[in-house]
């Protein structure tokens, strides 16, 4: 069981993106029924005070993430490399102008923004609600958690810099 748990931890550690149970099972060769127990064990172990990370269950799957308590201190170390510049620009637009319609974002950024919006929704950074023939888009609490700041602080930074430079100002 310890080697299986170690394989699961290693997969979660090196993956840039959340992993589904099926993906972890495929990588590790561990059957799904056994994998759920291992994931629960990893989660319980990390939930203690002696760890700075936790096992999070996101809409995309499982991933290691920094506990909220430590996020502000270490958020400047990340490069936000899991998102393209286009997705970051879309996120900037949403953060500054929310609530904003999807059609307004498309006018600003063009048709590629549809994919950016879809990806940002999948990451849980934005939410979209039907509003007539378009959708109304806002950031989520996960957006604040991702950047380690509250929305007002992020908006103030965005007024003077781009979202791509947020991490370098945190260092």
Residues 160 and 92 in one domain: yes
Residues 36 and 89 in one domain: no
Q: Which of 20, 125, 9 is nearest to 64 (CA)?
A: 9
Tens of pLDDT along the chain (171 residues) come to 589 999 999 999 988 788 999 999 999 999 998 999 999 999 999 998 889 999 988 878 899 888 878 877 776 666 555 678 888 899 999 999 999 999 999 999 989 999 999 999 988 899 999 999 999 999 998 888 888 788 888 888 888 775 555 544 444
Q: How far apart are CA 153 and CA 19, in angstroms?
A: 31
CA-CA-CA-CA dihedral for 153, 156, 157, 161, to nearest 10: 170
Q: How far apart are CA 46 and CA 158, in angstroms?
A: 34
Residues 50 and 101 in one domain: no
Number of domains forming the structure of the chain: 2
- Entry pTM: 0.58
Three-state DSSP class for residue 112: coil
* Domain boundary residue, one of 34, 66, 98: 66
């Amino acid at each position: 069981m310890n080697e299986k748990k170690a394989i699961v931890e290693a997969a979660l550690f090196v993956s840039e993106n959340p992993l589904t149970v099926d993906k972890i099972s495929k990588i590790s060769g561990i059957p799904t029924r056994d994998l759920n127990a291992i994931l629960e064990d990893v989660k319980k172990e990390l939930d203690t005070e002696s760890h700075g990370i936790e096992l999070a269950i996101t809409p995309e799957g499982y991933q290691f993430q920094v506990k909220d308590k430590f996020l502000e201190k270490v958020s400047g170390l990340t490069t936000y490399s899991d998102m393209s510049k286009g997705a970051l620009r879309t996120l900037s637009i949403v953060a500054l102008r929310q609530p904003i319609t999807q059609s307004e974002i498309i006018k600003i950024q063009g048709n590629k923004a549809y994919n950016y919006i879809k990806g940002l929704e999948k990451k849980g950074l934005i939410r979209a609600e039907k509003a007539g023939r378009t959708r109304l888009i806002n950031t989520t609490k996960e957006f604040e958690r991702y950047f380690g700041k509250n929305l007002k602080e992020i908006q103030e930074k965005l007024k003077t810099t781009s979202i791509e430079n947020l991490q370098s100002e945190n260092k």
